[in-house]
Amino acid sequence: MSTELQSEIHKAVELRRNFAIISHPDAGKTTLTEKLLLYGGAIHEAGAVKARRAQRKATSDWMAMEQQRGISITSTVLQFTYQNCQINLLDTPGHQDFSEDTYRTLAAADNAVMLIDAAKGLEPQTRKLFEVCKLRGLPIFTFVNKLDRPGREPLELLDEIEQELGLQTYAVNWPIGMGDRFKGVFDRNQQQIHLFERSAHGSKEARNTIVNLGDAQIEELLEQELYHQLKNDLELLEGVGPELNLQLIHQGKMTPVFFGSAMTNFGVELFLKYFLDYALKPGSHNSSVGEVPPTYPDFSGFVFKLQANMDPKHRDRVAFIRVCTGKFEKDMTVNHARTGKVVRLSRPQKLFAQERESIDEAYPGDVIGLNNPGVFAIGDTIYTGQKLEYEGIPYFSPELFATLRNPNPSKFKQFQKGISELREEGAVQIMYSADEAKRDPIMAAVGQLQFEVVQFRLQNEYGVETLLELLPYSVARWVEGGWEALNKVGRIFNTTTVKDSMGRPVLLFRNEWNCQQLQGDHPDLKLSAIAPVFSAQQAMEE
């Protein structure tokens, strides 16, 4: 590789930041996403999401069902530039029924932003997603939201994060007042008070008055009580709080905490500025040839998401690729690790929710959209040069199961196509009965809403009405060692055997007790709650 190209890739990596937002539903994730885009100049007016009356649809929610309900149920990618940095925001579903889609997106992120409602503190979905971030060792930035409403004491929230998540906390800024009296934040690094003026529903950037601590103006601008409260809090923080440690942040052991209100834009820009300073740049990825740094000369990347019909007019299928190494160029030919085929990457797109823009090049940390004519599967690696393959992305144990029927035989082809494409993109796991006479697919999901989305999309995008019949199971376990291991055991009771989309045996149980009973009866049978990660040799097709 030429020195010139090496220098170009190195420079591009230095200017890239990539993150996903994790939160419990209703913590304000879509609103924060909109406001970050507003400050990044990607949109000119932010549209807050309201489930009942979304007069202005949120940019990141593009699916018809999302706009109707005011929730995010798919992952999208939003790219924008701020202070010369290229920021890739991987917008994840906020609804708990879609935690698996969030997991896949986190596989492509270098950092995570944990969004917390100031009144509610840590909530179940946030804890669940935090565990995924911890597994991947991601740096976590915390944004405590909704300070413009009555909430819990900031010190109490820091204590909860430390006690429950085992993370050290460092408050980068500190709130001045709360609820109706929320006036702004104190930037501890610069020792400055940022006082905000509210704009209409936060649709424009908040006007910001910056005053140094100790400036005589403060007495006029801030109520005396709030100023004294701030000074007392800061004294306490300096006395008992740890020092900021970038190394611990990058190891996922310390979280920088920011306070603000996404709805009114208070503290959003300050968060964005510090995020650029503290966040991890695109780093190395584990592969079949060991750790590969982003400046590795040859291009490589992996597929972390597939989405069908983002543009209903064209019935397209898009593969989301995380660029890991080298430089991506339009029309380049790459090797497809799983199939061994050579693929030409034409019509690459920069994604911005549903909007697309053609691109000519991309660098490590970027996410590109590629037209997928059925070639790509989730977890696939594409590369040039020496063969390498990144770790696959596992499927997790679903908790709800249902048979899906097509009552209209004339729609057989559309039904099959819809099921196949929705399975490929991971909207739901699809299994089939081990009994060949039963041909109806079994949908397996983490939450009920996934079933509703599949039925909605089959009707909306493929013109197929379906009938759903819930099954009485709540636990799925993959059989390690496959059919051979299962056949050795002989007849088993209180379980149903099905096969996943790769033909591997999966046992379905009514409850955890039945599962434990079987393992007690057959200790040699090894069961796993996570599907074995497929390698390049294993085909995705049934």
Q: 336-371 burial by CB neighbour count: b if 16+ within 10 A, else e?
A: bbbbeeebebeebbbbbbeebeebeebbbbbbbbbb
Query: Is 23 marked as binding a ligand?
Result: yes
SS3 string of 287-324?
ECCEEECCCCCCCEEEEEEEEECCCCCCCCEEEEEEEE
Q: Say whether 150 counts as a known binding-site residue.
A: no
- Would you say 27 is a known binding-site residue? yes
Q: Is 187 annotated as a binding residue?
A: no
Continuous segment of H or E residues that includes residue 196: strand 192-197
146 belongs to an annotated ligand binding site: yes
Token readout for 151 is 């909430």
Residue 440 labelled as part of a binding site: no
Instruction: Please give the C-alpha separations between residue 370 and each of 316, 328, 350, 481, 505, in angstroms, as whole numbers.
Output: 10, 12, 9, 35, 32
CA 37 – CA 30 distance, rounded (Å): 11
Q: Residue 31 belongs to what H/E stretch? A: helix 29-39
Q: Is 92 labelled a binding residue?
A: yes
Phi, psi of 421 (to 5 degrees): -70, -40
Question: Does 139 carry a binding-site annotation?
Answer: no
Residue 477: partners with Cβ closer than 8 Å, 6 or more residues away: 397, 506, 507, 509, 515, 527, 528, 529
Q: Is 147 marked as binding a ligand?
A: yes
Closest CA to 166 of 120, 131, 197: 131
Say whether 94 counts as a known binding-site residue: yes
Does the annotation flag 26 for ligand binding?
A: yes
Q: How far is CA 133 from CA 20, 164, 216, 367, in A?
A: 10, 15, 44, 19
Q: Consult the annotation and say whether 95 binds a ligand.
A: yes
Q: Is there a binding annotation on residue 148? A: yes
Residue 93 is assigned to a ligand binding site:
yes
- The verdict on whether residue 24 carries a ligand-binding annotation is yes
Per the DSSP assignment, residues forming a β-bridge with 401 are 444
Binding site, residues?
Answer: 23-30, 91-95, 145-148
Binding site for GTP, residues?
Answer: 23-30, 91-95, 145-148
